[in-house]
Amino acid sequence: MMTRAGFKMYLKPGFENEYIKRHSEIWPELEALLKENGISDYSIFLDKDTNVLFACQKLNGDAGSQDLGLVPIVQRWWDYMADIMETNSDNSPVTVPLKEVFYLK
């Protein structure tokens, strides 16, 4: 069953262009891992006024992108992004799950 997940993350001020650059060059093996784990239609939006990133993704299963933290390529990506995002002690991005309150098909 396909579900959707939304969450927010926090970009450090002044790093919008770098964030966009790094994601435009996403590592092919990371992209493949996400797709292999049933993650699709993954979008990230930025609120420039607050530096809040809003992510949404479709899941074909129970796990989203943030549940792949034990995979080495994900850990390397988190390390790569840690200098421009708010992170936890393991360099995973600080994420806040969001409750879906409306969906128009």
Here the tokens at position 100 are: 């879906």
Q: What percent of the chain has a predicted confidence (pLDDT) above 70?
A: 100
**pLDDT on residue 40:** 95
Residue 79 pLDDT class (50, 70, 90 cuts): very high
What are the DSSP calls for the chain, one per residue? Answer: -EEEEEEEEEBPTT-HHHHHHHHHT--HHHHHHHHHTTEEEEEEEEETTTTEEEEEEEEESS--GGG-TTSHHHHHHHHHHTTTB-B-TTSPBP-EEE-------
Is residue 63 scored above 80 in pLDDT? no
**pLDDT on residue 55:** 97
Largest CA distance in the chain: 39
Q: How far apart are CA 5 and CA 64, in angstroms?
A: 7
Spot the catalytic one: 4, 21, 23, 35: 23
Here the tokens at position 84 are: 């421009």
Q: How far apart are CA 84 and CA 59, in angstroms?
A: 26
Let me know if 105 is a catalytic residue: no
**Domains plus CATH for the chain?**
2-96 (3.30.70.100)
**pLDDT on residue 29:** 98
